[in-house]
Amino acid sequence: MNTRAIKYGFCFLTILLFAGAGRAEQVNAADSEMQSLRGQVAELQQQMKDANERHTEEIKLLREEIELLKRSNVAPPAAAPVQARPVEPNQAPLPVAANAENKESPASIPQSSNPDISAIGDFIFHGGPTPRGETPDTIASSKTAKAQLREVEFGFSSPVDPYGRADLILSIERQDDGSYSPDIEEGYFTYTDLPYDLQARFGKFYSVFGKANMFHTHAMPWVDRPNVIRKFFGDEGLNDGGGEISWLVPNPWDNYMQLTFDVQNNGNDAVFAGDQAHSLMYVTHLKNFFDIDKASSIELGESFATGDNDANTNGGHRSNVEGLDLTYKWRDPQYGLYKSLTWMNEILFSQKEEGAEDTVNSHGMYSSLEYQFNREWSVFGRYDYTQFPDSSRLHETSYTTGLTFHQSEFMFWRVQFEHTNGENYAGNVNRNEIWLQADFLIGLHPAHTY
């Protein structure tokens, strides 16, 4: 055989042997990697199986614990304090022993949520002459400038159970002699889950009459209430204990229409019997709300209140008050936080019986316009005209203007100028007054009814 051929054959065989060895090494490496993956999959499967078994056991123990709590009628002794352990991410919760000696009964479990609690301070500076006499002004008895903390309001609000919520508003107001008097401004429970679009509440609350009567001090767009509200209902407005039911009235226009009926104590002494009352006061209000377009809306309301105005228990003299309110609101759809306008109007008519054939017919009204021209600033003006429930001959006319600076959602400043003329029980009236107001909020305060 040719020597060169033998050499070539030997080299070719050597190459084949090395190639076969390399191929065998690759196959062995692939088999090793496959075995490793299979081991990892088996380990994961076992972990999932263990986790499922552990979770199943935990659910079983928790169900046993719930059954024990349901059957328990007496709270067991207080459990010893347990030191908290840090829980690692993805760590399963520790199972609860079914035979644990110390358990909390449902009665000992604390309430899961606290009520919304707030405190609102209302500070004012009042300059200009305030006449002495019978006129029920917000600040009376002095002709010198006054700076005072007019009112502090504390609010508590929270759902009570699935059927309704409770609201409690306490106020501490400054009196004419400089002292402060605490009072329950409102406190009521509201049923919110009644059928047939009904809602009811009981307690002490502002009667649903018009618009301005229901304003809290800090929620008013002015420093003081309109004259007609103070003359007809007094400084505190229509506000007393009783019950209320309201109904969302179905209508073919599919608008918001609410009918409210209040039955309350007849404790208002401006037009009704006051502290000497032996009867109840009845208030009805129909509210109609509808949108004009995307930017504007109108609210129209009709109100009626009636009750005795003396202490006669055999059907004494009565007072009737009717009211109409119209509110137009516009808010720029593009700059909603910066531009808005509110035009609020209200007119009241009173019939107060003072004898067998003697009835005093009087009326009063106000018209208020407020324009917000940027996020923090708004300007307002108000016109007031009112007679007196006891005399249609006496009357007062006021012109009010002011500026409000909303420092934040928790505080605002307001300056107001008011000119009043006319004639009241103390004589002729011709006065100019200036007010400075600062209100601040602490805590969470629920929104008032629109």
pLDDT digits (tens, 9 = 90+) for 8-56: 555 554 554 445 545 544 545 556 666 666 767 777 677 777 677 777 7
Please answer whether residues 227 and 270 qualify as being in contact, where contact means their C-beta atoms are separated by less than 8 angstroms: no
Q: Could you give the residue range(s) of every CATH 2.40.160.10 domain in the chain?
A: 117-443
Note the pLDDT of residue 92: 40
3-state SS of the chain: helix, strand, coil percent to 5? 20, 45, 35
Note the pLDDT of residue 278: 80
Note the pLDDT of residue 447: 67
Burial class from Cβ neighbours inside 10 Å (0-12, 13-18, 19+) for residue 105 reads middle
Q: Which residue has the tokens 């002495």?
A: 132
Closest of 264, 200, 258, 279 to residue 233, by C-alpha: 264
Please answer whether residues 345 and 323 qualify as being in contact, where contact means their C-beta atoms are separated by less than 8 angstroms: no
What is the phi/psi pair of residue 57, to 5°?
-65, -40
Q: Which residue has the tokens 């618009």?
A: 211
Distance CA 301, CA 449 (A): 14
Note the pLDDT of residue 72: 59
Note the pLDDT of residue 78: 47
Note the pLDDT of residue 77: 47
Cα-Cα-Cα-Cα torsion 150, 229, 267, 181, nearest 10 degrees, comes to 0
50 to 53, 59, 313, 364: CA distances (angstroms) = 5, 14, 81, 80
Distance CA 424, CA 33 (A): 103
Q: How many CB atoms lie within 10 A of CB 216?
A: 18
**What is the amino acid identity at position 45?**
Q
* CATH code given to domain 117-443: 2.40.160.10
Mean pLDDT by 10 residues, the chain (450 residues): 52 51 50 67 70 72 73 49 41 41 42 81 84 42 70 95 95 89 96 94 97 94 95 92 96 93 92 84 96 94 94 78 97 86 97 85 97 95 95 94 96 97 90 95 76
Note the pLDDT of residue 242: 97
Note the pLDDT of residue 90: 40
